[in-house]
Amino acid sequence: MTERNRGRPRAFDRDRAILDAARLFWQRGYSGTSTRALTATLGLSTSSLYAAFGSKAGLFEEAVRTYAERYRVIYEQAVTEKDLRTVIERILIGSVHEFTQPNDTHPGCLIASAVMTDSTSTLDTSAYIAELHGSNEQALLRRVERAIQEGDLAAGTSAVVLTEFIQALWHGLSVRSTLGTAREGLIDAAQLAHKLICQQLASTMS
């Protein structure tokens, strides 16, 4: 074996690097995660990290965008359900499972962590998160409006209020996961919220 082969660096796994970096950001926060800690965890030199992601902020933003995509998919799939009650259940329960993915070994939702960060260098990320939440909310709003039109909900139901309420529940579950609430507790809370919503919606139809 030549000296060159012995010294060949391992292949760069971008997805793995993003996941490993995200774990550090979850554990220490954006400001508390140093470039030195990132390079040590990712097995990259500082120059390689900057070449791949542009900066620490660039890596953080890519991690947030990667995880945000998971929630976009949850909403996209949920709103295709025929019954609105199933739509709501899939959004709440599906998101809780995503917040608490054991394979990621992280304390809660990275999106909530990003929103609460104290770093001004994450402004681009904050704008992206706001855009994502707005897109998810609009998808849900259109589905609620359709349910009203199809007679699945009472004609007097406010699509805006119901959508905002569901989104408020989503954000509450997200923050609670970041604060360390276990999956079982979050699922219980989501199921109770779903049950109460369904009861209220049913009462307006009688």
| Residue with more model confidence, 30 or 171 | 171
> Over 70: is that where the pLDDT of 8 sits?
no
pLDDT for 23-65, tens place per residue? 888 878 788 889 999 999 999 999 999 999 999 989 988 888 8
- Taking residues 83-87, what's their average pLDDT? 96
Q: Any residues with CB less than 8 A from the CB of 14 and at least 6 apart, and which? A: 52
pLDDT category at 123 given cuts 50, 70, 90 is low
Q: What angle, rounded to 10 degrees, do the helices at 46-53 and 56-78 form?
A: 40
Pair 17, 42: CB distance under 8 Å: yes
Domains of the chain: 64-204 (1.10.357.10)
pLDDT category at 103 given cuts 50, 70, 90 is low
Annotate 103-123 with b (16+ C-beta within 10 A) or e (fewer). eeebbbbbbbbbbebebeebe
Pair 119, 61: CB distance under 8 Å: no
CA distance 91 to 170: 8
- State pTM to two decimals: 0.81
Tokens of 88: 């709501």
CA distance 169 to 140: 13
CA distance 47 to 158: 54
CA distance 129 to 4: 44
- Taking residues 104-117, what's their average pLDDT? 67
Pair 88, 82: CB distance under 8 Å: no
pLDDT score recorded for residue 115: 63
pLDDT for 128-162, tens place per residue? 778 888 999 999 999 999 999 999 999 999 999 99
